[in-house]
């Protein structure tokens, strides 16, 4: 049987895939770009490629995230490697990166630390835009650190990686900025059983408790790892902004504030050490 771009896309759509996802999967197996697929739907596709496409289509229809199937995801206009060892970078987290960049002057050397780096999306983006930045990143997962190191390599962004449980391995290092997208989903939250989250590392999503366990630790330890005037910025759940601000105020931070994501949800909170 002869396969064309159009016939394969239409098959995948019958399996319930949106056409963007179908085109991403076809691009991955055939190296026919999405632009080319659109311009030339009657292009013939080999039987081997068609078979590989159908395997991915079925896996996608069974719920596997597109990002894991193709092995990459775009974040802050950078193509990043992802694997089931890391959380798939989300658009909301770009807000966190933007807020950090606003606090890192372009022409001055600064030291920044990313806690729970996962794919390395945050430090790679920061270092890409701040070539003078001394960027440190930790994660508790060696598998995640390997992915993050490859992303740093891919984008030529030197980053110092270490395996650490939050601050434990950081001795008395101090930074101008501490940033984190920690696991903040509460245990038993229904979202954990929906969509991509079912396939992502549980330890990157949830703290197995009330959702604030890691945020409390991150805020509590920040003062001893920030230089005077340094900023702590972290992402949190849709209903955690008020508690986060309270924790920051209690820990002696100033200019405590929460910022809304594109959906209008308070998604990032932070403050500055006096």
Contact positions toward ligand GLN, by CB under 6 A? 87, 90, 92, 181, 183-185, 191, 197, 205, 235
> How many CA atoms, within 13 angstroms, populate the side-chain half-sphere of residue 130?
26
Cβ distance to ligand GLN smaller for residue 53 or 182: 182
DSSP letters of 100-121?
A: HHHTS-TTS--EEEEES-TTTH
Comparing CA positions, the residue from 222, 174, 182 lying closest to residue 205 is 182
Q: Least Å distance between CB 205 and ligand GLN? A: 5
Cβ distance to ligand GLN smaller for residue 87 or 178: 87
The C-alpha atoms of residue 110 and residue 199 are separated, in whole angstroms, by 36
Cβ distance to ligand GLN smaller for residue 191 or 227: 191
Cβ distance to ligand GLN smaller for residue 26 or 138: 138
Beta-bridge mates of residue 231: 177, 272
Q: Least Å distance between CB 247 and ligand GLN? A: 17
Q: Least Å distance between CB 225 and ligand GLN? A: 20
For 116, 124, 176, 246, the CA distances from 156, given in Å and listed in that order, are 20, 9, 22, 38
Q: Least Å distance between CB 75 and ligand GLN? A: 13
Cβ distance to ligand GLN smaller for residue 126 or 197: 197
**Do the Cβ atoms of 99 and 268 come closer than 8 Å?**
yes
The C-alpha atoms of residue 5 and residue 103 are separated, in whole angstroms, by 47
**Do the Cβ atoms of 269 and 256 come closer than 8 Å?**
yes
Q: Least Å distance between CB 261 and ligand GLN? A: 9
Q: Least Å distance between CB 22 and ligand GLN? A: 23
Q: Residues in the chain, how many?
A: 274
Element at 12 (helix H, strand E): helix 5-14
> How many CA atoms, within 13 angstroms, populate the side-chain half-sphere of residue 75?
29
Beta-bridge mates of residue 254: 272
3-state secondary structure of 272: strand
**In b/e form, how buried is each residue of 228-237, taking b as 16+ CB within 10 angstroms?**
eebbbbbbbb
Cβ distance to ligand GLN smaller for residue 40 or 238: 238
Q: Least Å distance between CB 235 and ligand GLN? A: 6
Q: Least Å distance between CB 181 and ligand GLN? A: 5
Cβ distance to ligand GLN smaller for residue 111 or 236: 236
Cβ distance to ligand GLN smaller for residue 65 or 183: 183
């Amino acid at each position: 049987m002869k396969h064309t771009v159009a016939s394969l896309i239409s098959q995948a759509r019958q399996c319930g895939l949106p056409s963007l996802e179908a085109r991403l999967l076809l691009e991955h197996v055939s190296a026919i770009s999405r632009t080319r697929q659109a311009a030339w739907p009657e292009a013939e596709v080999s039987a081997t490629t068609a078979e590989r496409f159908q395997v991915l289509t079925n896996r996608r229809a069974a719920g596997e995230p597109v990002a894991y199937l193709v092995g990459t995801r775009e974040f802050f206009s950078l193509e990043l490697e992802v694997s089931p060892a890391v959380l798939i970078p989300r658009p909301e987290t770009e807000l966190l990166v933007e807020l950090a960049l606003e606090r890192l002057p372009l022409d001055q050397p600064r030291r920044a630390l990313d806690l729970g780096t996962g794919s390395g999306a945050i430090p790679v983006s920061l270092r890409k835009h701040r070539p003078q930045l001394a960027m440190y990143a930790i994660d508790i997962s060696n598998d995640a650190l390997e992915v993050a190191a490859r992303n740093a390599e891919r984008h030529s962004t030197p980053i110092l990686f270490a395996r650490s449980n939050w601050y434990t391995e950081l001795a008395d290092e101090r930074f101008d900025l501490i940033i984190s997208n920690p696991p903040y989903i509460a245990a038993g939250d229904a979202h954990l059983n929906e969509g991509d989250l079912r396939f992502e590392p549980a330890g990157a999503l949830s703290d197995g408790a009330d959702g604030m366990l890691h945020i409390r630790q991150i805020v509590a330890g920040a003062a001893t790892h920030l230089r005077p005037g340094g900023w702590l910025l972290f992402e949190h759940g849709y209903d955690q902004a008020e508690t986060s601000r309270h924790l920051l105020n209690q820990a002696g931070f100033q200019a405590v504030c929460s910022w809304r994501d594109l959906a209008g949800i308070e998604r990032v909170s932070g403050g500055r050490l006096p």
